[in-house]
Structure 1
Amino acid sequence: MSSGVTWPFSVNPDSDSAAESTLGPPSDHPGSSVPPFVYRITKYDPAHRDERGHYTGAEDTASDHGPVEEAYLAAIAAFAEAAGIDQLEIREPQIGGFAHFGLEPPVEGFGLAGPFPAGPAGFHDGAPVPIAVGLELVRSMLRDNGAWCRLEAGEAFAVHVGWDRYLYIGSNLPCETALACTRALGLFPERIDASPYDFAPDDAAYVQRPADADFWAHLHWTVGAYREVFLEEVFAVNASRWHRLTRDNIETVRSQLAPRSQLAIWPDLLTDVDTAVAALPDEGLVEIVWEDGDGQITSTVVDETRFEAVASRLAGARSAGVVSMYAGEDLPLVTAVLPDSDGVLRARWQTEPTPGDRDWAFLKTLRRGQVVTGTVTTIADFGVTFVDIGGFTAMINLPELSWRPFDHLSDVVSVGQEVTAEVLGVDMVRERVQLSLRAVQEDPWPQVAQRIGEVVIGPVTKIVPFGVFVRVEDRGDGFEGLVHTSELAASSRDVVEVGDALTVKIIDVDLARRRIVLSHVQARPATTEGRPCD
């Protein structure tokens, strides 16, 4: 964190290696919306480069904070005027160590206090700024104040500041007058194929979860399950704010989030201060989160060289927590990125995927009626069968296992069995998938309905106060029908037992309620013609 910073957001310590991991080396994969005319503009004479293109002259790589710096800004203004651009958009903003080249001492406020007097949260992805403010941001980047961003105007214009005060300007017009102006200012413009700082996604195939209506409904459900959770709002790389969420304040917090922020939902990670301090590792990069007596949550990212200093700041804290900054460790429950007000996700940065995010991405591929294949993992005592479908656990409720009757779930499925099922529904809020085995099987009930009027002989399977059940198919999972007491011959009412063969007539099949109605009385005249059940 830069010396003297008091804003309540997390900032990483100054680190040359951190800056290099984010801003360099330059990308070899330009973004898809690259302006056709791209120029590299520097104060370095191209004649002073060796055969590898490295500068060998005497120019200082730091900004002079004077006429050369003003020449850079004047060149940008000339190109913007030639391209007809009067407003730029901030893209992928970064604050603190990752955005600090380390060539000049960091300054308080990262050079943002002037352009954003209301606070650093205004320095967010997608924020529109007039050219004058854009020039002040470039000045801050030239001075290595610790803030960095891309400045773009759709696909028409772009300004990128790189290492050693290399400036890259892209335009959809050749801007010949601006080139002449730039040369007159004593700078050296060179036409190149693309800016090395054009945006390139970490993973072009990654599907970023948007903080849409499903996300917020899921968050309400999650708060109900956990009672309260924490929301980490990252409005610029290396700068975050933390919010404790309860059922009562979710929508209030939501309304105050910076546009296009990255969001991470954490379970309650705060504990007593002594426990948090004891959880600090021997070395490494961690984010320390603490809550003061007024409920204000603050965080900072530090390494082992600053553990002791930060621990001393926790003396008056109500609670604290430690989160590892290394990939794969201490993952939040879910992450997302805020879409714009029209629902379109235009922020290009990507959150680190969590198991919950991968579940969401998989669920988005499922549709009602889709047939999937999976492996039975668990047969629960309460009647639900769990199936692994591509790494996600779906469920089959008892009635959806089979059209036919069965006594135990194990009569139909077994752990480790591969099954094919149909997707009945996908609940994106609770992140549940319901499957049906019987939906991919032929429904036998229409065939049973065709047997109305048949007389069969079948075993009595159950005796109840209002009648007896008789199996009408000669198979262990055969369908059973009810012989109501009124349809049972008087001579048989008191003597029939389970297992007895009874001659019955199928008098009705209710397809809606899946019920078979039988009559013993109506079958008696045809007793001699009765046949065993099929």
Structure 2
Amino acid sequence: MQLPYVYRVTKYDPADRDEHGHYTGSEDTVSDHGEVEASYLQAVAAFAGDSGVDHLAVREPQVPSLAHFGVEPPVDGFGLDGLFPGGLTGFHDGAEVPLDIGLQLVRAMLREYGAWCRLEAEGAFAVHVGWDQYLYISSSRPCEEALAHTRELGLFPERLDASPYAFEAEEEEQVIQRPGDDDFWADLYWAVVTGQAGILEETYLEGASRWHHLTSDTIDPVRAGLAPRARLAVWPPLSTNIDAVLRALPADGLVEGVWQDDDGNIRSAIAEEDEFPELAARISRAHAAAFLSVYAGESVPLCTAVMPDNDGVLRARWRTEPTPGDRDWALRQPPG
């Protein structure tokens, strides 16, 4: 839901913008880790207070996968250390945090430590950080006191129609998103016992995933250990013919290697061609393995799903890329 009052809050004086809106002044595009950064956080707190909000929900959280594009160097833990009791696993879609933790997440995003998310109180308030110290705040209220306080802090709030980083649902295909409900897990059990499926990819953050070995005995423990609102992709069993797998390693490009060690755990790594020898050495010692293309459309899972909340409602807004199996499932659903 688009909130009616949207503001871009920055340290950049609008008087220093050219006719195209580009900033031409002398302010740096990185956080000062000091007084200016503190002003940003005070502004967020003021808008939250004016909006009647003291808790926020994490939405669409992400961490860097292949590369870190921030101006500042990445840090261990992506700036999340100490913020969640469960560490990185506590940073998931829908996680509720008090405002003070939300402010620390905003600080981590301003410093470009790697973690990013939208922070929202449904129907009342939203905040997220863009590039170059651009802060976007939305509210159900005009927040006149917060606006005045933000100006007193030396920042510049500007009214917008919408944030360029507001969540937008994809419209390319109107395929129903399959939930990871009891019916999905019953179908998955059948696919495992008949040898069609063998591993499950759990994307618990955008940019971070875990792999699980599936047998008739492991399906229930795997399901119980998934992150809330995780995206799921089901893949065929790994091959135990390691020589054949290694022969399938491409000569160049990017590839994801997935392998099962002797301890039964599934591991994965995305490698460029100069890293292929190290990846091949790891896989040569594996019990079973496969190479998956990271290029769109070249490696397609059997089916996908997104985990619903405990009450069965699918509240996650992110979606999986529909596979032929997903389309077949969607066609079998009753209308409405």
Length-normalised TM-score, structure 2: 0.93
By how many angstroms is 1:282 displaced? 2.9
The yes-or-no answer on 1:197 pairing with 2:169 is: no
**Aligned residue among 66, 77, 89 for 1:121:** 89
Question: Using the alignment, how far apart are the partners of 1:309 and 1:189 within structure 2?
Answer: 51
Question: Using the alignment, how far apart are the partners of 2:294 and 2:146 within structure 1?
Answer: 44
By how many angstroms is 1:274 displaced? 4.5
C-alpha contact 2:175 2:327 (8 A) present in aligned 1: no
Give the aligned residue type for 2:320.
T
Match of 2:215 in 1: 246
- Residue by residue over 1:481-502, the C-alpha shift from the partner in whole angstroms, topping out at 9 and shown as x without a partner, is xxxxxxxxxxxxxxxxxxxxxx
* Aligned residue runs from structure 1 range 438-477, under 5 A: none
C-alpha contact 2:196 2:237 (8 A) present in aligned 1: no
Question: Using the alignment, how far apart are the partners of 1:366 and 1:170 within structure 2?
Answer: 36
Match of 1:95 in 2: 63
Match of 2:312 in 1: 343
- Residue by residue over 1:326-374, the C-alpha shift from the partner in whole angstroms, topping out at 9 and shown as x without a partner, is 221111111000111111111111111111000011111479xxxxxxx
User: After the TM superposition, which of the residue ranges 291-300 and 79-88 deviates more from structure 2?
Assistant: 291-300
Give the aligned residue type for 2:111.
R
**Aligned residue among 176, 192, 205 for 1:236:** 205
Match of 1:161 in 2: 129
Match of 1:320 in 2: 289
Question: Using the alignment, how far apart are the partners of 2:194 and 2:217 within structure 1?
Answer: 14
**Aligned residue among 132, 138, 146 for 1:170:** 138
- Which protein has the larger Cα radius of gyration, Structure 1 or Structure 2? 1
* Aligned residue runs from structure 1 range 58-77, under 5 A: 58-77=26-45
Match of 1:280 in 2: 249
* Aligned residue runs from structure 1 range 237-386, under 5 A: 237-314=206-283, 316-365=285-334
Identical aligned residues as a percent: 61
The yes-or-no answer on 1:179 pairing with 2:147 is: yes
Secondary structure, aligned partner of 1:226: coil
Question: Using the alignment, how far apart are the partners of 2:305 and 2:136 within structure 1?
Answer: 31
Question: Using the alignment, how far apart are the partners of 1:98 and 1:184 within structure 2?
Answer: 41
By how many angstroms is 1:45 displaced? 1.0
Q: 1:282 to 1:202 in 2, by over 3 A?
A: farther
C-alpha contact 1:280 1:322 (8 A) present in aligned 2: yes
Match of 2:112 in 1: 144
By how many angstroms is 1:275 displaced? 3.9
Question: Using the alignment, how far apart are the partners of 2:282 and 2:111 within structure 1?
Answer: 31
**Aligned residue among 12, 17, 21 for 1:53:** 21
Give the aligned residue type for 1:78.
A
The structure whose RCO (Cα within 8 Å, separation 6+) is larger is 2
Question: Using the alignment, how far apart are the partners of 1:136 and 1:310 within structure 2?
Answer: 37
Q: 1:214 to 1:167 in 2, by over 3 A?
A: same
C-alpha contact 2:238 2:288 (8 A) present in aligned 1: no
Give the aligned residue type for 2:154.
G
* Aligned residue runs from structure 1 range 391-430, under 5 A: none
Give the aligned residue type for 1:320.
A
C-alpha contact 1:99 1:147 (8 A) present in aligned 2: no
| Number of aligned residues | 335
Question: Using the alignment, how far apart are the partners of 1:179 and 1:366 within structure 2?
Answer: 48
C-alpha contact 1:286 1:301 (8 A) present in aligned 2: yes
Give the aligned residue type for 1:340.
D
Q: 1:366 to 1:225 in 2, by over 3 A?
A: farther
User: After the TM superposition, which of the residue ranges 40-49 and 267-276 deviates more from structure 2?
Assistant: 267-276
Match of 1:422 in 2: none
By how many angstroms is 1:318 displaced? 3.1
Q: 1:224 to 1:317 in 2, by over 3 A?
A: closer
Question: Using the alignment, how far apart are the partners of 1:294 and 1:266 within structure 2?
Answer: 20
Secondary structure, aligned partner of 2:46: helix
C-alpha contact 2:254 2:272 (8 A) present in aligned 1: yes
Question: Using the alignment, how far apart are the partners of 1:355 and 1:157 within structure 2?
Answer: 38
- Residue by residue over 1:216-262, the C-alpha shift from the partner in whole angstroms, topping out at 9 and shown as x without a partner, is 11111111211761111111111111111111121111111101000
Secondary structure, aligned partner of 1:41: strand
Q: 1:165 to 1:305 in 2, by over 3 A?
A: farther
C-alpha contact 1:259 1:340 (8 A) present in aligned 2: yes
C-alpha contact 2:200 2:233 (8 A) present in aligned 1: yes
Structure 2, gaps ≥5 residues long: none
Question: Using the alignment, how far apart are the partners of 2:179 and 2:160 within structure 1?
Answer: 35
By how many angstroms is 1:309 displaced? 4.2
Secondary structure, aligned partner of 1:120: helix
Whose strand fraction is larger, Structure 1's or Structure 2's? 1
Match of 2:181 in 1: 212
- Residue by residue over 1:390-424, the C-alpha shift from the partner in whole angstroms, topping out at 9 and shown as x without a partner, is xxxxxxxxxxxxxxxxxxxxxxxxxxxxxxxxxxx
